[in-house]
Amino acid sequence: MKAVFKKHTFNFMLPAGTSRGILHTKDSWFLTLFNEDENLSGTGECSIIQGLSPDFTDEISYEKKLNEVIEKLKGLALADFFLHLKGDAFSPIGNAFLSDLDPWPSIRFGLECALFDLNNKGCGTIFYNAFSRGESSIPINGLVWMGTKEFMLEQIEQKLAAGYKTIKLKIGAIDFNTELGLIKGIRQKYSADDITIRVDANGAFDELSVYKVLKELKRCDVHSIEQPVSPIKLSLLKDLAKENIVPIALDESLIGHSLSSDKSALLEEIKPQYIVLKPSLHGGIAGTAEWIRLADKQAIGWWITSALEGSIGLSAIAQFTGNYSINLPQGLGTGGIFSNNLPSKLVVKQGQLIMTI
């Protein structure tokens, strides 16, 4: 099997503020597999976020790993990955090749998607389901990036005007009282029955501040808070989930757990109300499917979101999400935050993600 990769640097239309800093660009690597006998190809996106992706330290070592993957693929055929499907894991298996990539979740995700795309004749269809056929839609939240009060308020008004029923606000970078004022402003106009508010702290708060933050958010009927404190604060996260002042959603805490036993133990230990899944960070397609199975087993809610992928990665994640019965709005989109994104079949109408045919 022949394979090549190509780096693509996405440019944000507007600076993207998070508690880890402001992003102006974001890198991905497109991994393309070729079936030269049939003149077909399949492409997946290896998406990383510097400072967060567990498999990225620098470009040199990352591309070295990609080259190693390409070299090993030369001795394999597409059929080696599709000997059978592992239950509802939605992941091609047949050898230990993909399992060896568990420490490299972004590369595993890109390779899985490229394999599925090639297996489906390179038409961009990763999974065949009602969503990929354009017969159903996926409810999504509208993301509000951190920034000045005026900038965040402008984004909120745009999302509400566009028909979103769930708003997700990044918090923890500017003064919390300012952020709280924005949330109170929404609640003055819209009840929790009208608009659901989620917040994502990216671990911004500590033990001294988090309880006050949660009590204020509870007064505003906030649905949930993603990663209120650092992933290493396991005992604190467990206490917060048990007290359930505001439902706790784990995100960064899931990174680095590849063994099923480790995943199950983490969920059993903390008992969060929700988990937030990013295939590029949390084990690719197979790893994400496993997180979902384990969460369902423990009655933990979940939703899938992106790790700032472009249109290729987002399309794959959305199609993967379409394999499930969706109970909660997902954290997906079209990649419209980038000025140089590739063409996409994804569109958003009234807070619903749709794939055009």
The total of structural domains in the chain comes to 2
What's the pLDDT score for residue 147?
76
d(CA 346, CA 356) in angstroms, rounded, equals: 6
Instruction: Identify whether residues 22 and 89 lie together within a single domain.
Output: yes
d(CA 190, CA 313) in angstroms, rounded, equals: 34
Q: What is the pLDDT of residues 160-170, one digit of tens each?
A: 889 999 999 98
Per the CB < 8 A criterion, the answer to whether 245 and 219 are in contact is no
Counting as low any pLDDT under 50, the low residues of the chain are 84-90, 93-94
Instruction: Identify whether residues 284 and 164 lie together within a single domain.
Output: yes
Domain edge (last residue) among 62, 86, 119: 119
Instruction: Identify whether residues 63 and 195 lie together within a single domain.
Output: no
What's the pLDDT score for residue 43?
97
Instruction: Identify whether residues 144 and 34 lie together within a single domain.
Output: no
* Cβ burial, residue 231 (10 Å; 0-12/13-18/19+): middle
Per the CB < 8 A criterion, the answer to whether 354 and 134 are in contact is yes
What's the pLDDT score for residue 20?
64
3-state class of 327 per DSSP?
coil
Active site residues: 170, 278
The answer, as to whether pTM is greater than 0.75, is yes
What's the pLDDT score for residue 14?
78
What's the pLDDT score for residue 337?
87
344: containing domain: 138-355
Does 128 reside within a domain? no
Q: Which residue has the tokens 């990769």?
A: 5
